[in-house]
Amino acid sequence: MSRKKQSTDAGAAREAAEPAPSPVCASPPAPPKTVDALQAELDAAGRLLAEAQVKADGNLALLQRVAADYENFKKFSERERAEAVLRERSAMLLDFIDSCENLERALEAGAKELPADGRLMKGLKMTLELMRSVLDRAGVKPVEALGKNFDPSLHEAVYFSQDASRPEYSVAEELRRGYTLNGKVLRTSKVCVVTRPAGAPEKGDAVECPKDDREA
């Protein structure tokens, strides 16, 4: 009994020696914000939002300019590439036309010395027809010049000829055939253009009749 009492007394002594826990103090609630303070915060947030919107608009405009510049550069590059291909193609076709015309002249010269029904002449004619078909498939067409009105976009006047029997500024002679490629001029025709002889009346002009000597 004495030992049990001693242990009880010792526990009570320890509890008495330990300090009692201090009570937890709760922080006082923050005072409510005034209307002015809330309005100031709202204004600040509005300014930040406006600055962000301006920056976003600037970035969008810059992106749009970059995209437009890229599209313009892309179109320019495609146009330059197409023009380069057209130049190369036109040069090759002009060389081919020269060869075709040389063959035409050879046939004209050979017709004076060789029989028209001979193998050589027939072979040359077939070759010429094949070359012409190649030009036709490529979109090359001859320019009509003889008897047509002079067109500076299609014809190149080499010299002029006075002829009252022909319409003025019509083509009297074709010295070199012109060609178009898909509707665009590939080579102009060299032509002779008709002009009105000096002193000849223009079309529609009235010719003055001689006066009667009996008139007063």
User: Which tens digit of pLDDT belongs to each residue from 110-158?
Assistant: 888 888 788 888 998 999 999 999 999 999 999 999 989 999 999 999 9
Per the domain annotation, does 99 fall within a domain? yes
pTM of the full structure: 0.60
**For 184-213, what is the mean pLDDT?**
68
Of the candidate ranges 66-75, 77-86, 115-124, 151-160, the one whose mean pLDDT is the lowest: 115-124
Measure Cα distances from 49 to 53, 63, 129, 162 in Å.
6, 21, 77, 84
Q: Which of 138, 162, 177 is the last residue before a domain boundary?
A: 138
Closest by CA to 89, choosing from 135, 142, 153, 128, is 135
- Domain hosting 172: range is 141-201
- Which residues are CB-contacts of 28 (< 8 A; sequence separation ≥ 6)? none
Q: Which of 85, 113, 138 is the last residue before a domain boundary?
A: 138
Domain identity same for 70 and 129: yes
Closest by CA to 195, choosing from 143, 157, 165, 160, is 160
Alpha helices in 18-137 (DSSP H): 35-110, 119-137
Q: Which of 138, 164, 182 is the last residue before a domain boundary?
A: 138
Per the domain annotation, does 167 fall within a domain? yes
- The number of folded domains in the chain is 2
Read off the CATH number of the domain in which 192 is found.
2.30.22.10
